[in-house]
């Protein structure tokens, strides 16, 4: 059930991104936008679509929020890969955007994907209620900006030149922004669109986001570049503190498993209807890319 719904969400968002960007023409920056936003697991889009389904939100509305988060996520990856940031040559097994084109085009493509995300979530197509659209837009801005993802990225950059490695508590706070904030937004979007209580999904997504990052740290140690689709071993080479370096490999795996169990428990109010979300949590720590 989960794999089918994940694939379905990916296909729907892929098609919708193509449709939304069709009027933009074929300038290099637009081609770079299409390139950067193609492929991937689309986990965030799935979380939007699945939580919308749980709350009876129409798919034709939810697809706009799902497309918005994937555009924002794609922008973050383009900028994260730049030489001034993580300086990566590969993403999803392909040359990163600044390698495929150039740094200027990559920066502009990322900027345009970010604004496209906000356009998608604030359009009347996303929801007929302007207050709901405003809530989605404001919460997405907070999740993506200096209270969320950007804050986490800034803390990560600062940690690279800090005199002492980060503590476990500090890494947890960092990743709650860098990785977790967009995941939390995705998993609560359906409840926001239905004007329902977001608390259970907030708890679920907080644990899911942290488990996702721990799994990334484990892949950086155990994965291979061909499967993961990007360089591995960079954290250890740079001497960065990670969940693996602080907890050990087995300790990190055990912590990820605990977080998945907590995430699944947070969904108890939804009964069997939330099984696909539970499977998503298990998938996060079992994935190989």
Facing residues of 94 across strands?
A: 91
Give the pLDDT confidence of 234-276 residue by residue, as tens digits. Answer: 666 666 788 998 999 999 999 999 999 999 999 999 999 999 9
Give me the torsion for CA of 55, 59, 61, 64, rounded to 10°.
Answer: 110
Residue 198 tokens read as: 């977001």
pTM above 0.85, yes or no: yes
- The number of beta carbons lying within 10 Å of the beta carbon of residue 265 is 13
DSSP 164: S
- Average predicted confidence (pLDDT) for the chain: 93
Percent of the chain past pLDDT 90, that is, above it, reads 84
How many C-alpha atoms does 69 have within 13 Å on its Cβ side? 34
Q: Which helix (H) or strand (E) holds 71?
A: helix 59-80
Mean per-residue pLDDT, 52-80: 98
pLDDT (tens digit per residue) in 107-142: 999 999 999 999 999 999 999 999 999 999 999 999
Termini Cα distance of the chain: 20
Q: CB-based contacts of 152: which residues, under 8 Å, 6+ apart? A: 174, 175, 176, 177, 178, 179, 180, 181
Q: Tens digit of pLDDT for each residue in 12-60?
A: 999 999 999 999 999 999 999 999 999 999 999 999 999 999 999 999 9
List the Cα angle 34/230/277 in 5-degree steps.
75
Residues composing the chain: 289
What are the CA-CA distances from residue 42 to residues 89, 136, 283 (Å)?
21, 19, 13
Ranges assigned E (strand) in the chain: 90-91, 94-95
Give how far Cα 98 sits from Cα of 144, 195, 231, 257, 277, Å. 21, 40, 16, 36, 34
Judge whether 209 and 180 are in contact, CB under 8 Å: yes
d(CA 55, CA 215): 29
β partners of residue 95 = 90
């Amino acid at each position: 059930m989960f794999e089918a719904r994940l694939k379905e969400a990916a296909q729907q968002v892929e098609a919708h991104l193509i449709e939304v960007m069709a009027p933009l023409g074929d300038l290099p920056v637009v081609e770079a936008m299409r390139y950067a936003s193609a492929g991937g697991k689309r986990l965030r889009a799935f979380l939007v679509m699945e939580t919308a389904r749980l709350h009876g939100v129409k798919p034709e509305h939810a697809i706009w929020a799902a497309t918005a988060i994937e555009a924002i996520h794609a922008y973050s990856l383009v900028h994260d890969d730049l030489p001034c940031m993580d300086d990566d040559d590969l993403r999803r097994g392909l040359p990163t955007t600044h390698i495929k084109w150039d740094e200027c085009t990559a920066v502009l493509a990322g900027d345009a994907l970010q604004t496209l995300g906000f356009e998608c979530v604030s359009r009347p197509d996303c929801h007929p209620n302007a207050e709901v659209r405003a809530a989605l837009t404001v919460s997405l801005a907070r999740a993506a900006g200096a209270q969320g993802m950007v804050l986490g990225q800034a803390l990560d950059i600062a940690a690279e030149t800090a005199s002492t490695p980060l503590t476990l508590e500090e890494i947890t706070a960092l990743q709650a922004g860098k990785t977790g904030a967009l995941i939390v937004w995705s998993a609560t979007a359906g409840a926001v669109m239905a004007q329902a209580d977001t608390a259970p999904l907030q708890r679920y997504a907080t644990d899911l986001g942290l488990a996702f990052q721990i799994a990334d740290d484990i892949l950086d140690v155990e994965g291979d570049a061909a499967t993961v689709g990007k360089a591995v071993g960079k954290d250890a080479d740079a001497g960065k503190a990670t969940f693996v370096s602080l907890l050990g490999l087995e300790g990190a795996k055990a912590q990820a498993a605990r977080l998945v169990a907590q995430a699944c428990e947070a969904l108890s109010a939804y009964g069997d209807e939330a099984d696909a979300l539970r499977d998503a949590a298990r998938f996060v720590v079992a994935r190989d890319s």
